[in-house]
Amino acid sequence: MEKVLRIVVGLAGLMFLILGLRWVIDPAAMATKWEMPLLEGVALNSQIGDLGAFFFVGGLVILLGVVTRQRQWFLSAALLIGTAGVFRILALLVHDATLPVDKLAGEVILCCLLLIASKLLTNKS
């Protein structure tokens, strides 16, 4: 069970790293993938920098947890991804933004996996 969880969480971390890099390499494709317009000027810089950093660092932190087996990395990633889910719900409630249920479900599932990993995959010392 631990090995399967480690592989699944590691693949999620790798996917996040790739998504972050893709924001830098091909922002037009990523904007299309995330159903948003590709912005211009300073807004484009923020779009690439903020979204790229979110995914890249999220993936890096997940992989640090998988490699080092230290609980704080899994919890940090869960906090980052869980907060994104909470903010999606707030966007719906406060600003009447459309809620992308598929993205929210992914965040909830990954957050739960990371919390489980923080218990099962960490050093027992």
108: containing domain: 2-120
pTM score of the predicted model = 0.93
Query: CA-CA distance, 70 to 56, in Å (whole number)?
Result: 19
Q: What is the DSSP letter of 121?
A: S
Decide if 125 is inside a domain.
no
In-domain check, residue 43: yes
pLDDT at 123: 81
Quick check: is 31 in a domain? Answer: yes
- Span 34-89, pLDDT tens digits: 999 999 999 999 999 999 999 999 999 999 999 999 999 999 999 999 999 999 99
Is residue 42 domain-resident?
yes
pLDDT tens per residue across span 89-104: 999 999 999 999 999 9
- Determine, yes or no, domain membership for 108: yes
Work out how many domains the chain is built from and give that number.
1
Nearest to 6 by CA among 96, 55, 73: 73
